[in-house]
Amino acid sequence: MAANGNGVSTTPKSPLARIQTQKNGGICHDDSGKPVKAQTIDELHSLQKKRSAPTTPLDGVQGAFATISEDERQRQQLQSISASLASLTRGTGPKVVRGDPAGKVQSVSHVAHHHHIEAPTISVSDSSLKFTHVLYNLSPAELYEQAIKYEKGSFITSTGALATLSGAKTGRSPRDKRVVIDDTTQDELWWGKGSPNIEMDEHTFMVNRERAVDYLNSLDKVFVNDQFLNWDPQNRIKVRIVSARAYHSLFMHNMCIRPTPEELENFGTPDFTIYNAGQFPCNRYTHYMTSSTSIDLNLARREMVILGTQYAGEMKKGLFSVMHYLMPMRQILSLHSGCNMGKDGDVALFFGLSGTGKTTLSTDHNRYLIGDDEHCWSDNGVSNIEGGCYAKCIDLSREKEPDIWNAIKFGTVLENVVFDEHTREVDYGDKSVTENTRAAYPIEYIPNAKIPCVGPHPKNVILLACDAFGVLPPVSKLSLAQTMYHFISGYTALVAGTEDGIKEPTATFSACFGAAFIMLHPTKYAAMLAEKMQKHGATGWLVNTGWSGGSYGSGNRIKLPYTRKIIDAIHSGSLLNATYHKTEVFGLDIPTEIEGVPSEILHPENTWADKKAYKETLLKLAGLFKKNFETFTNYKIGKDNKLTEEILAAGPNF
């Protein structure tokens, strides 16, 4: 149909018969749809993403934000973040706006639409002319996009995990960790020989804080995580992590407890804040600085500053140190341990240094995993501090660690691993970057994880030692005093290799099985442990996963199936009914019989062909225990000037 110049329709002549169609009649598969509501490609892309609707009904809801609009809620949230990023020289926080700057038109009017915080400044500078964009509690998918777009060394592996690099530092820097000493911490914290706490003053902390905050404010965007620590709802801690990298944000998303949308809307002011400036170094000419790396804790301000290292583990363990301070103040014991629970509700704690089998033995498909590393023991029972796991990956295999292997999927962070350039399959045996390769994933990635990660009071406290000297029994039942003594000692003995081929056992002692992270004197944690064990009827055990029949080189390592039988007997309670006899020197009670374990290996002396060598090695190890414990014998507890005679008597006697 056409129209002539007068607007009159004409029908062109055609040899074909005219096809009659009816309006709205019988058209199949009409997928033309309506035109898109977009004028540009950017607008079209914006239609891909549906805006998240408020998850909490505003009507009849009690809470700080229950009666305010969505716009006002966002304004208050941004105001809180702005306050966290306040520079002390200006006295106010930056102008902050939510969202990725790459996806927004940079103009004041556009930012105003997003309810930024207008902050007056003392003096005008370039930093006053810009907005700091806040990427707030992004999802793993969003963080993947940020990492792959903007962070060199970020890749998706064949299983869907995000492989990243932590830069020059591939482990913690304990010599660069500082704690502010003030009138309160001077008396409360453990200082001096053996302590992990290295002092700094308030002024130096503020210099480093200003340096980190100014660096973060200078960036186009920062990542902000608001999350929780401690699954016990009565004693959880609100933490805010401000970081420069998507990798760090995803790591903390996995390692801390993830708030529900409702909890996030009512998050309010955090109890503790981390400023992670990552690669930006501290000023080495600043007082107390010994390198370009500095990890600083200020317990009075409830803040932590990280400069000159991108290793994500500094955040995890820094918060653990904070919990080692905050929780005992509430009469809650913080513990560096694994924890699992039987189907009947019996809970066991596992303590052990690297190489003792803590992860292997606490991972039991017949029991629920409460957590693998950090816990609290309160009047309510036990609770995991974290929301995720941070597993070692070196030499990881599907056969040996199937749960960890299967947890390395979308959402997991893989640190410093090596993978095939084409297939992106990870070679877990490759140490080209570092031996300390790690995977961080949410705890719900473990099939038998107990969610929420809480349990009743423990029945068993298991102290693990890999004794390469070969003189400790495979299992011993401990008295309360012995539990305190061995808990304070935190012993294991591993094999240190040297270039000339000489390999001898090396004793390692780490107070409370985590000396690098404790804030108070070890005896305070040990006294709390003994008090809770006594109150709730828990039993202490010392389990040797190391050598039998001789030291390393002459004896053999105790078979894992035997150790598992021992652990099973502890869980079932059958080991409580065994017949015991006491060993010499260490005075340990060892059972005469355990089902499934050869009786001759239960007493280590029986397995040594050279009895004289056994006695000499036993006395050597006892001497190492005594020497290590000298650090603690003169510590003042209450009105006394030394540890109770009961604890000292629980150590080796020769």
Residues forming the active site = 172, 317, 336, 354, 358-359, 373, 438
Give the distance, in angstroms, between the CA of residue 552 and the centroid of all CA atoms in the same chain: 33
Rounded to the nearest 10 degrees, how much is the dihedral formed by the CA atoms of 55, 60, 64, 69?
A: 60
Q: For 236-307, where are the alpha helices, taking DSSP H only?
A: 246-255, 261-265
Kindly report the number of other CB atoms within 10 A of residue 148's CB atom. 13
> How far from 150 is each of 213, 241, 253, 419, CA to CA, in Å?
21, 20, 19, 20
Q: What are the helix and strand counts (H, E) for the chain?
A: 17, 34
Amino acid 128 reads S
* Rounded-to-integer distance, Cα 341 and Cα 450, Å: 9
Helix (H, G, I), strand (E, B) or coil at 217: helix
Name the CA radius of gyration of the chain, rounded.
30
Q: What kind and span of H or E run contains 242?
A: strand 237-243
Burial (CB count within 10 angstroms: exposed 0-12, middle 13-18, buried 19+), residue 216: buried
DSSP assignment, residue 449?
B
Amino acid 484 reads M
Beta bridge partners of 382: 377, 455
Q: Which two tokens stand for residue 317?
A: 């363990």
Q: Which two tokens stand for residue 186?
A: 């001077």
Residues in the chain: 654
Cα angle 571-574-578, degrees, rounded to a multiple of 5: 130
Beta bridge partners of 640: 637
Q: Where does residue 26 fall: left (phi above 0), alpha (psi -120 to 50 degrees), or beta otherwise?
A: left
Residue 403 has phi, psi (to 5 degrees) of: -65, -45
CB-based burial, 83-97: b 16+ in 10 Å, e otherwise: ebbebeebebbbbbb
* Rounded-to-integer distance, Cα 169 and Cα 323, Å: 24
**Strand locations in 528-579, DSSP E?**
539-544, 547-548, 556-557
Helix (H, G, I), strand (E, B) or coil at 632: helix
**Strand locations in 393-530, DSSP E?**
413-415, 418-419, 426-427, 438-442, 454-455, 458-465, 475-478, 491-496, 504-509
Among 390, 198, 184, which residue's Cα sits nearest to residue 294? 198
Among 69, 276, 248, 53, which residue's Cα sits nearest to residue 164? 248
Kindly report the number of other CB atoms within 10 A of residue 494's CB atom. 17
**Order of all β-strands in the sheet with 368-371:** 368-371, 338-341, 347-351, 458-465, 539-544, 475-478, 589-591, 580-582
Q: Contact 2/12 with Cβ under 8 angstroms?
A: yes
* Rounded-to-integer distance, Cα 653 and Cα 643, Å: 16
